[in-house]
Amino acid sequence: MSRILILFVTLSALASAACAQDAFEWRDDFDSVDVWGAQPGWLGNPSPSPKRTTANGIATFAIAEPGKGMKWRRELPNLWLPEQRFLVVRYRARNVNTEPTDYFIYVDDSTPGSQCQPICLNDVKADGAWHTVAVDVLPLAGGESAKAMAIQVQAAGEGRAEVQIDFIALSDRIPEGAEELRAGNFTAKPDVSISLADAKWTAQPSWLSNPAEKDYGTTREGEWTKFRVREPGRGMKWRWLMGRDVELAGHRYVSMRYRAKHVSRHGDYALCVMGPPAKEGDLGYTSAVPLSVLISDGRWHTLTADTLKAASLIPKVNALAVQVRAEGGAAELDIAEIRFTNQFTPSPVTDFIDIAEGAAFGGLQPVDLAGQCGADIVPVSADHGLAGDKGRHDLRHSVPPCSGFAELCRIEAGSENRASHSRGGQDE
């Protein structure tokens, strides 16, 4: 591959840790309602004169006639529900028929035959007061992608039904003060970071049909633990008896900061959780992170995997297991952090690109793009789940301000840059 110099523009503020605290979400603030199209063919009692308007960022969906209704639909960008699983809406309603079990808000999950209706009309409080509600869409959806959304309003017997909406979002978290619907027995619990510094890992060759026979093991290197198998086509599993119980129930995700090289994607798990099963007679272990989702490219990544199913089987964890299978060479899996959490972790930009410190720009001149771009890199980065790390890079090459763009740095020439499922921050 020829060596190509690529320029990457970033904002110095992106290095602020504050960016990582922002919600990763798609959001409709209703500056316009033009994208919401009426669908009279979707119901048997369509209103002949439905109205949808917006003023000062508040949308109004109104039905004048008693006993009539309307559904409105809008398309969504390509949204992946495991990352933006919470439907959040702030609304107030008057004279709405709240008896039907049909949807108030519907999510098209790109799956034929699926009816994903996280919020139903009988969930609506038609008392004229503002309410913010949230629903975990992922367990209700038939697929993992959301391509469209719909709203329905049905007028009660007196007519003049009106629903005003401040915003609708698909987010990675439930905002403070929101009421969670369909939570069942789930009660969110504080994050738990499992320190691996003093973990004692024991090889379990009997757990595999093709265990490594030589040159395998674990070592602690700096801030991470290395699991290695040098024999191609073979593997190993290791178990750590933690000596304490850690509650997995109450956490929607397990976040694992890892780096993999020559690790096969075939096998049952990369990370397994063990403990007393919720149901007597069930197995006392289950996969938390499958091998199939690892990116084995020698770069650091932070993977965030759903744990609701695992927690329903193993509510309390007292042991962990890790598996490595070698493919195409000596396999290594470095794990820096395992965390039980309720939030998706943002990705540092350096998970995606290699940024050289003190890059020399001989012969290059900065170009002011203020007249060509109008986006601020901070919200753009947050919308894509990216975050910087304060103090990670000293970017000394200033350029004229450009709508929030403040500094210029270089991707290392000749490096390969890959998109990934990265979320988090550990330096290479």
Does position 5 have pLDDT exceeding 70, yes or no? no
pLDDT band at 426 (very low <50, low <70, confident <90, very high): very low
pLDDT of 384 reads: 55
pLDDT of 15 reads: 32
pLDDT of 428 reads: 32
Among 25-34, 95-104, 135-144, 237-246, which stretch is predicted with the lowest mean pLDDT?
135-144
Q: How confident is the model over 222-231, as pLDDT tens digits?
A: 999 999 999 9
Does position 126 have pLDDT exceeding 80, yes or no? yes
pLDDT of 399 reads: 30
Q: How confident is the model over 143-172, as pLDDT tens digits?
A: 889 999 999 999 999 999 999 999 999 998
Contact 425, 385 (CB under 8 A): no
10 Å CB burial of residue 399 (0-12, 13-18, 19+) is middle
pLDDT of 386 reads: 57
Contact 87, 132 (CB under 8 A): no
pLDDT of 417 reads: 32
Does position 289 have pLDDT exceeding 90, yes or no? yes
pLDDT of 23 reads: 73
Span 367-390, mean pLDDT? Answer: 57
pLDDT of 128 reads: 97
Percent of the chain topping pLDDT 70: 77
- Half-sphere exposure (Cβ direction) of 213: Cα atoms closer than 13 Å: 3
Token pair for 77: 């960008």
Q: How confident is the model over 294-324, as pLDDT tens digits?
A: 999 999 999 989 898 999 999 999 999 999 9
Which residues neighbour 92 within 8 Å (Cβ) at sequence distance 6 or greater? Answer: 128, 129, 130, 131, 163, 164
Could you write out the three-class secondary structure of the chain? CCCCCEEEEECHHHHCHHHHHCCCEEEECCCCCCCCEECHHHCCCECCCCEEEEECCEEEEEECCCCCEEEEEEEEEEEECCCCCEEEEEEEEECECCCCCCEEEEEECCCCCCCCCCEEHHHCCCCCCCEEEEEECHHHCCCCEEEEEEEEEEECCCCCEEEEEEEEEEECCCCCCCEEECCCCCCCCCCEEECCCCCCCEECHHHCCCECCCCEEEEEECCEEEEEECCCCCEEEEEEEEEEEEECCCCCEEEEEEEEECECCCCCCCEEEECCCCCCCCCCEEEEECHHHCCCEEEEEEEEEECHHHHHHCCEEEEEEEEEEECCCCEEEEEEEEEEECCCCCEEHHHCCCEECCCCCCCCCCCCCCCCCCCCHHHHHHHCCEECCCCCCCCCCEEEEECCEEEEEEECCCCCCCCCCCCCCCCC
Average model confidence (pLDDT) for the chain?
82
Among 112-121, 156-165, 306-315, 360-369, which stretch is predicted with the lowest mean pLDDT?
360-369
Indicate the length of the chain as a whole number: 428
Span 340-357, mean pLDDT? Answer: 74
Does position 250 have pLDDT exceeding 70, yes or no? yes
Nearest to 77 by CA among 128, 28, 131: 28
177/165 Cα distance (integer angstroms): 17
Rg (CA), the chain: 25
Measure the N-to-C terminal CA separation of the chain; round to a whole number of Å. 24
pTM: 0.70
Q: Which structural domains are found in the chain, ordered by start?
A: 6-20+349-411 (no CATH), 25-171 (2.60.120.260), 192-344 (2.60.120.260)
Higher-pLDDT residue of 73, 267 = 73
Owner of token pair 């919200």: 379
Does position 397 have pLDDT exceeding 60, yes or no? no
Percent of the chain topping pLDDT 90: 64
Q: How confident is the model over 17-71, as pLDDT tens digits?
A: 333 356 778 999 999 999 999 999 999 999 999 999 999 999 999 999 999 999 9
pLDDT of 355 reads: 64
Higher-pLDDT residue of 274, 188 = 274
pLDDT band at 182 (very low <50, low <70, confident <90, very high): confident
Does position 205 have pLDDT exceeding 90, yes or no? yes
Does position 406 have pLDDT exceeding 60, yes or no? no
pLDDT of 294 reads: 94
Which residues neighbour 335 within 8 Å (Cβ) at sequence distance 6 or greater? Answer: 196, 224, 225, 227, 256, 257, 258, 322
223/227 Cα distance (integer angstroms): 14
pLDDT of 407 reads: 32
Query: What single-letter amino acid sits at 113?
Result: G
pLDDT band at 234 (very low <50, low <70, confident <90, very high): very high
Does position 413 have pLDDT exceeding 60, yes or no? no
Nearest to 120 by CA among 153, 95, 142: 153
